[in-house]
């Protein structure tokens, strides 16, 4: 991932130093498993566990010579050991080390992402409770529909983030597997008991059946889950972008002192962070597509997936980490304008109460069709002439003979839309009860 879109905690997980040390962890775990099986002398296993080292500079030099990452790595490990080095990589093939170590990296990356998702959920939950009763207009098709609350809008996001946490935990389990099954996965050179013991040392489950590689449907699923989380972040960011439009201006992302929004127009305060989230979500979805393309490989294994994964696994986890970081900041510092929300709500002259009027007329005995025609006729007049809907209704004897002033007061009451908001908050744990 390019530095602009990187988070140090995620970059570290995909750095060569971290990767090769996970390879070393795998090799040491296998040596220990062989020792437990009585094949490797206990003293040799102890020496390997205590003394095995890698030198990144030497690995790079050896790669230039061998054109093979794993043999270069093994040569560097052997440099740090004596005769006991013969037990390193015993019975293994390159993918046993590479794929199992990649699983360790994916687990570490997932733990970072889960912590970030939890932090975002906490921030959005706090803002949702803060604005639980902040009335604003709900829009369908981009058009004023009925009143809602800004907090309820955010509560929807809280529940959605929680679902992504659940999916990511499941995806973590899917990729938290190791394999030491040898060439083409037959266990001819590494018995299943050694594989099971080595994976236990590493804290991984055993991939039940392999073909020399861990099957890439696991990685494709993992990447799809990341893309799904990115899609929700894009959804949230798009909403804020819409609310920040000059004509609406109900909320806007934070704008720091000294920040500029345009090189030519000093007045500009643009939703550039939210726009960045939206653009990066598109990139993230592309990585999910590549992950699906990696599922189909020739026979028991080829390495057409390898080059792609060197890019998509670090970049996908890194991009989502960055997106979560900046969007959490947006939500933490989000500027909300309740008065503007109320003003926008009242711009449509009470049209947002049309269903309440319709239902009230139906309750008096009118058919739905007859009531609908009355309310629609007055609604269109209110819209076209920019005059309050209630005044038009009060001037229509067909309405007033059925709905007195007290009933109209109850109909044109924003509080009626708050009655059940608390229940939604309770359902997702934002209120007790």
Q: Is 89 a catalytic residue?
A: no
348-368 residues labelled b (16+ CB within 10 A) or e (exposed)? bbbbbbbebbbebbeeeebee
Q: Is 221 a catalytic residue?
A: no
Say what angle helices 94-130 and 217-243 make with each other, to 10 degrees. Answer: 30
Q: Which of these, 328, 331, 356, lies nearest to 153 by C-alpha position? A: 331
Instruction: Give start and end residues of each alpha helix (H) in 294-420.
Output: 304-332, 338-346, 354-363, 368-385, 389-394, 397-400, 405-411
CA distance 314 to 297: 21
- Please tell me which residue in 80, 95, 187, 262 is annotated as part of the active site: 262
Q: Which of these, 244, 241, 245, lies nearest to 233 by C-alpha position? A: 241
Sequence-separated (6 or more) residues with CB below 8 Å from residue 64: none
Helix (H) or strand (E) holding 143: strand 143-149
What is the Cα Rg of the chain in Å? Answer: 30
Sequence-separated (6 or more) residues with CB below 8 Å from residue 198: 26, 29, 30, 32, 33, 178, 180
Contact of 141 with 346, CB cutoff 8 Å: no
- Please tell me which residue in 67, 141, 267, 299 is annotated as part of the active site: 141
In the block, which residue shows the tokens 């899917």? 174
- Tell me which residues are annotated as active site: 141, 262
């Amino acid at each position: 991932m390019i530095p602009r879109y990187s988070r140090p905690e995620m970059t570290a997980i995909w750095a060569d130093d971290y990767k090769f040390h996970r390879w070393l962890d795998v090799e040491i775990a296998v040596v220990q498993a062989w020792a437990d099986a009585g094949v490797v002398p206990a003293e040799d296993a102890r020496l390997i566990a205590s003394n095995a080292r890698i030198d990144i500079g030497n690995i790079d030099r050896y790669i230039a010579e061998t054109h093979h990452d794993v043999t270069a790595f093994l040569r560097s490990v052997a440099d740090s050991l004596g005769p006991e080095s013969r037990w390193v990589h015993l019975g293994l093939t390159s993918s046993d080390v590479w794929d199992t170590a990649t699983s360790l990296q994916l687990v570490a990356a997932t733990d970072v992402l889960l912590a970030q998702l939890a932090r975002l959920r906490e921030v959005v939950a706090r803002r949702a409770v803060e604005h639980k009763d902040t009335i604003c207009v709900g829009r369908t098709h981009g058009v004023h529909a009925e009143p809602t609350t800004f907090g309820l809008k955010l509560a929807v996001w809280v529940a959605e983030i929680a679902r992504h946490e659940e999916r990511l935990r499941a995806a973590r389990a899917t990729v938290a597997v190791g394999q030491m099954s040898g060439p083409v996965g037959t266990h001819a050179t590494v018995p299943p008991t050694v594989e099971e013991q080595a994976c236990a040392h590493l804290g991984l489950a055993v991939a039940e059946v392999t073909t020399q590689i861990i099957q890439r449907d696991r990685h494709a699923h993992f990447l799809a889950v990341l893309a799904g989380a990115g899609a929700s972040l894009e959804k949230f960011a798009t909403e804020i972008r819409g609310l920040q439009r000059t004509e609406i201006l109900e909320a806007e992302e934070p704008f720091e002192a000294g920040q500029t929004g345009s090189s030519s127009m000093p007045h500009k305060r643009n939703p550039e962070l939210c726009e960045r989230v939206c653009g990066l979500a598109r990139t993230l979805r592309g990585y999910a597509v590549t992950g699906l393309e990696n599922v189909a490989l020739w026979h028991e294994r080829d390495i057409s997936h390898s080059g792609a994964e060197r890019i998509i696994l670090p970049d996908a986890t890194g991009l989502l980490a960055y997106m979560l970081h900046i969007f959490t900041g947006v939500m933490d510092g989000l500027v909300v304008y309740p008065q503007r929300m109320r003003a926008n709500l009242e711009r449509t002259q009470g049209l947002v109460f049309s269903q309440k009027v319709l239902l009230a007329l139906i309750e008096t005995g009118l058919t739905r069709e007859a009531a609908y025609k009355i309310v629609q006729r007055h609604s269109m007049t209110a819209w076209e002439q920019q005059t309050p809907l209630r005044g038009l209704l009060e001037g229509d004897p067909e309405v007033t003979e059925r709905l007195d002033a007290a009933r109209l007061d109850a109909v044109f009451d924003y509080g009626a839309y708050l009655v059940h908001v608390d229940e939604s908050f309770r359902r997702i744990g934002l209120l007790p009860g």
